[in-house]
A and B are shown apart, each in its own frame.
Chain A
């Protein structure tokens, strides 16, 4: 298995998703977050938020809402069972609240291998903007692909 470095620079189709209260509530339940600002509008307002905010890593739920989900793996022709998450970084530029419409666009920024091709690394960046076009966050992730053929040398 070898990944095609010509895919560096590939930009995926942007999509827009709505920040839903129920999705934020389920996300918080899953991660054990019990602060009521994430579920109760009154608690959010009392804490100075104009609406219910989203936890710092909820952006993963937004980017996973892509109607063309799995696009990166289809582009790379990689089976989902072979991937691991190598790194993830978020930069927060403006608050996001329940009800906001967020547009996400992902781009492949680097592809490289290590250990003689036993592991491949795909770096992608996603820009997230709200309904006014204001950038709200930038995400940078590294997907690690385990080469089923093992090391090449």
Chain B
């Protein structure tokens, strides 16, 4: 379980511990197809992907968003995550090595809760952002 940092101990600009993931492989995409219920064949069937103009299958955007979630819940307990969102900015291909990073962009109090805003993103081995996300968590 994550031991959450305290509101008073963090400041804007602080980085969260990064998450470096193993290369995306086809087996993971098959597992995510079943686990998420997203059965779009474009992520698992190369013939289908080619028919629609892609060179290969590619990862579900939501698989990478799950990595953003993992970063958030490795920093604070699940119940303290208030919001999680992302833009999917480029395609994640089989073999890509994704690093998930985050940093604090804001601290505020709202309705009696002490909130910390985070920028979190996925970046591939070429330094290109694949997801540009954000989260809001409660810190005590």
Contacts and interface: CB of A to CB of B under 8 A. Distances in A.
Given A26-B31, A29-B31, A35-B1, A88 B62 contact: yes
Question: Which of the four size classes fits the interface of chain B?
Answer: 35 or more
The interface residues of chain A, by DSSP majority, are classed as mixed
A70 to B, nearest CB: 9
B93 interface: no
B46 interface: no
A31 interface: yes
A118 to B, nearest CB: 13
Interface stretch (A2-10, A89-97, A109-117, A123-131): A89-97
Contacts of B81: 56, 92
Summarize B's interface: helix, strand, loop or mixed.
Answer: helix
Which among B42, B78, B85 has the highest number of chain A CB atoms within 10 Å? B78
A133 interface: no
Nearest to A86: B88
Nearest to A22: B35
Interface string A48-79: 11000101110011001100010000000001
Contacts of A46: 1
Interface string B77-100: 111011111111001000000000
A87 B34 contact: no
| Nearest 5 Cβ contacts at the A-B interface | A64-B37, A89-B85, A81-B52, A85-B61, A56-B69
